[in-house]
Structure 1
Amino acid sequence: MIDRPRPSPIIVTAAFVATLAGHFTLTRIGLSVPVLNDVRVLFFSAVLMAFALEIHHAGFHPLHTDSARRTLQPVLLLFGYQLMSAAWAPPNAVINDVMGDLIAMVVLVVVYTALAEWDRDRVVVVTMYLQYAAAWLYFVYSASGHGRTAAGRWAAFGGGPNVYVRVEVLGMIAAAYFYFRSGGKFAWLAAAPLFLVGAIASGSRGGLVALGIIVVPAFPSLVRFMRRHGALKPLSTLPMVGAVVWLLFGDQIMLLINNRYLATTLQQRHTSDRDVLYEKGFWLFVESPVFGVGVHGFYAITNLGPGEKYVHNLPLAVAAEGGAVGVLLLLLAFWSIRAEYARTPKPERSRPARAAAYCAIYILGASLFSGDYYDHRLMWIFFLLATVSPAGRRGPPAPAGDPRRPGAGRAW
């Protein structure tokens, strides 16, 4: 018996594009039928059919390992409880969109868990390539003058600045990953300053704080690696890259820094109403501490306006709309992910698994400042990719020297 085929990059690409596309409807072209006008129905149907054909052809049986079940089940339990909370949501709550978001996340986490179980490292590497390409695409689009907000904040393809910053930072993580993986080829790291410019130009303060959260634990590893492979070349080249970036975008960036970060944040102490949202979310939790007010209950009760539909803080949103039960399920999901990740001794963790963990931690940090439930889908996906152990490949052991033998050749 021979080894089963690896997951095709095509199916991984399809899943990533469907994930990155976000949620938007076709009402602009006149299709206003609920559910059917959601672009994700088309995307996800195509992904599921392609995935079903792929696993059938490979003879792979998904979601059968203990690792996948231990990690995925608590996450699905949380999503299921949030769906169930629609039963006690306020009568004026518009739950269709939130229900669609949660069902879409169920599809995504199941597909990505199965892919991780199939060949986790390969899936992560392909995803890193896609992240790197997406960061370039978003950067070029916004740097050319498209997609910016009225305040000059950079955005792209209909997504807001808080989405844009996540794409750029994930591109930085991908650049760092390929720099490590290539043994120190500076061409990969050279893109990081450009992606950093894009992140700053987004004007997303929470996104930059989340970047700091992952830089602190990752910095020692980067220093050790550069000492081992020589830091002189990258350190001497970075100023030249920075000079080119400054010539091209220096004036725009300084204007945005002065207006967004200095004047608005430090002098005017403007918080984009986050303090109001957090206070409202907290008091909703106090008023309904056990089961919460139900999905979309925050917007239905507070009625703060169309721009403030959610709390912009994942734990507080779960507390307000799911109560203590929701918070416990959220903590259970995080604990199960952490426990499963710890099952693999640190020296044995693959580089793709560690990269996926950094991506997930970044989105978790960003989720404390912005986004609704669906905006955190990449956090769950990367946590699952980091923790789910691949199932053993079928077939007899390959002989010594065979490239299929574990550890032979370059690892994914």
Structure 2
Amino acid sequence: MTTAGETRPGLVVLIAFFVTLSGRFTLDRVGFDVPVVNDVRVPLFLVLLLSLFLEAYHTGGHPVEGGQALLGILALLGYQAMSVFWVPPGSVTGPMLGDLLAIAGLLVVYFNLAAWDRDQVTATTLKLFHAAAWVYFLAAASGRGHQANGRWAALGGGPNVFIRIMILGMITSLYLYLRSGENLIWLVPIPAFLFGAIASGSRGGIVALGVTIAVALLAIRPRIDFDRIAKPLALVAVLGTVLVITAGPSIAGYVQSRFVEATIGQGYASSRDVLFQMALRIFFQHPILGTGLNGFYTVTDLGFGERYVHNLPLSIAAEGGFVGLALLLTAWLGLWHAYTRVPLRERSLEARTAAYCGIFIGAASLFSGDYYDARLMWILLLLAAVRPAPVTVASPR
């Protein structure tokens, strides 16, 4: 049993990570159909909440800074849930309400974990993402999970999920490199994960990586030491060249057709442009409150095809209107304010890494995914913003 001030145990963090990463995995994928618990989030959440309750019972409460960031996100999720009262007739809202409730539950869990020991919780979470990236990469490299068109995926998730894990693997490689005192061994996985990201064929994910790199360069530009980074860059370049020479031919034709011919030559956008235009049209038709939760799918009547916009702000604009967009902006600004309240020199490596991971997921959410797929963005940005309050010791009288 631990007491206040000691390093937090990792069991609750481990359970929270698996609940977060499991997504909407259902037992029917493996041949079972069990009512209620068919969605594995139900039993996993029960285990997670019980573990959190027992830990909180033993350790008591902890003062925290940055709590307003959580309130901003919960306000947005609460408004989205409340929008079921004005959805179009025939809208199916139950599954999406469950998604919003799951996101809120995960945020409350991670908020409490961060209040105990934010840096330790974040460090453990980043290491788990790195391990997950290896598992996903090796599974995909073995040929399991590939789509019919050759796009890499693994463990039941699609290519857009796969690339998110690959890029998080790259970022956590850099984190482990810096945390280890610049041990070059931690940079070795970066070319492999980048190879997997390209093999996923997710153009939005590649753009999101570019956005993240641009933001990082703007942030660290005044402090770049070119002599210090020369050796790491050379190592990554050499390993990347070797990987391209040895494994590149296996996906060369696919990259040519997906990225060059389809995207540049034909302007193919996987119907994203059409979905974005539909979302904007719905927003202009319902500018104040939107169509309500899952209203986009009901109004557009796209059948069994696309069920959501694949762009988080546009989804909220169409289904939540101006009020939803204002709450989204408020949530982001709340996270930014809580994060920047800590002077740059005092921000931990864990907080900065979580912020960049969250920025990447946020940028990726402009091109793929729905509300639940954005959960990693909210969790990682929350871990970057929330921190235990400093313990004040009363002076003796």
TM tier, shorter chain?
over 0.9
Aligned partners of 1:367, 1:30: CA distance in 2, in Å? 31
Q: What is the alpha-carbon distance in structure 2 between the residues aligned to residue 43 and residue 222 of structure 1?
A: 43
1:348-377 CA-partner distances (Å, limit 9, x unpaired) = 111111001000100110011010000000
Alpha carbons 1:289, 1:323 under 8 Å: kept? yes
1:153 corresponds to which of 151, 154, 158: 151
**2:61 counterpart of 1:61:** yes
Change (3 A) 1:75 1:236: closer
Equivalent pair of 2:361/2:374 in contact (CA under 8 Å): yes
Measured after TM superposition, the shift of residue 54 of structure 1 is 1.6
Indicate the RMSD between aligned Cα atoms, in angstroms.
2.1
Does structure 2 conserve the Cα–Cα contact (< 8 Å) formed by 1:113 and 1:385? yes
Following superposition, the deviation at residue 24 of structure 1 comes to 2.7
Q: Give, in whole Å, the separation in 1 of the partners of 2:315 and 2:138.
A: 34
Q: Could you tell me which amino acid in structure 2 is paired with residue 49 of structure 1?
A: L
Distance 2:221 2:240 in 1: 19
Q: Which amino acid aligns with 1:67?
A: G
- Give the Cα separation in 2 of the matches to 1:353 and 1:66: 13
Deviation (angstroms), 1:247: 4.0
Structure 1 segment 9-408 matched on structure 2, within 5 A: 9-28=10-29, 29-31=31-33, 33=35, 35-57=36-58, 59-61=59-61, 65-68=64-67, 70-219=68-217, 221=220, 227=226, 229=228, 231-232=230-231, 234-392=232-390
Measure how far apart 1:256 and its partner are. 2.0
Matches of 1:298 and 1:184 in 2, distance apart?
A: 48
Deviation of 1:305 after TM superposition, in Å, equals 3.1
Aligned amino acid, residue 43 of structure 1: L
State the shift of 1:396 in Å: 9.5
Question: 1: CA distance between counterparts of 2:236 and 2:364?
Answer: 27
Aligned-residue offset at 1:9: 1.4
Letter in 1 for 2:265: Q
Deviations along 1:71-106, whole A, 9 cap, x unmatched? 111110100111111111122111111011000000
Give the total of aligned pairs: 392
CA distance in 2, matches of 1:279, 1:108: 32
The residue type paired with residue 230 of structure 2 is: A
Deviation, 1:210, is 0.5
Contact kept in structure 1, 2:64 and 2:386, CA below 8 Å = no
Change (3 A) 1:115 1:335: same
Distance 1:160 1:260 in 2: 16
Residues 107 and 231 (structure 1), Cα distance of their counterparts in 2 relative to 1, 3 Å cut: same
Partner Cα separation in structure 2 for residue 200 and residue 279 of structure 1? 27
Further displaced range: 36-45 or 168-177: 36-45
Long gaps (5+) in structure 1: 398-412
Tell me if the contact between 1:4 and 1:394 (Cα under 8 Å) persists in the aligned partners: no
Q: Matched residues in 1 for 2:221 and 2:334: separation?
A: 28
Q: Percent of pairs identical after alignment? A: 47
**Cα pair distance change 1:239/1:278, threshold 3 Å:** closer
Deviation at 1:116, TM superposition (A): 1.0
TM-score computed with the length of structure 1 as normaliser: 0.90
Relative to the length of structure 2, the TM-score reads: 0.93
Find the residue that maps to 1:231 and give its secondary structure: helix
CA positional deviation for 1:230? 6.0
User: What stretches of structure 2 of length at least 5 have no aligned partner?
Assistant: none
Summarize deviations over 1:293-324 as a string: whole Å, max 9, x none: 01111111112132300000000000100111
Partner SS for 1:153: coil
1:252, CA displacement in angstroms? 2.3
Q: C-alpha distance in 2, partners of 1:215/1:278?
A: 25
Distance 1:55 1:2, change over 3 A: closer
Q: Deviations over 1:28-81 (max 9, x none)?
A: 535263x43211001111111111112222x2315x53522x111111010011
**Residues 52, 236 of structure 1: alpha-carbon distance in 2 compared, 3 angstrom cutoff:** same
| Counterpart residue type for residue 56 of structure 2 | I
Shift of 1:222: 8.7
Structure 2: distance between partners of 1:46 and 1:222: 44
Q: Is the 8 A contact 1:285 1:319 kept in 2?
A: yes
CA distance in structure 2 between the aligned counterparts of 1:54 and 1:255, rounded to whole angstroms:
53
Alpha-carbon distance in structure 2 between the residues aligned to 1:280 and 1:268: 22
Contact 1:31 1:37 (C-alpha < 8 Å) held by counterparts? yes
Q: Indicate conservation of the 8 Å contact 2:283/2:318, yes or no.
A: yes
Cα distance change, pair 250–226 in 1 and its aligned pair in 2 (3 A): farther
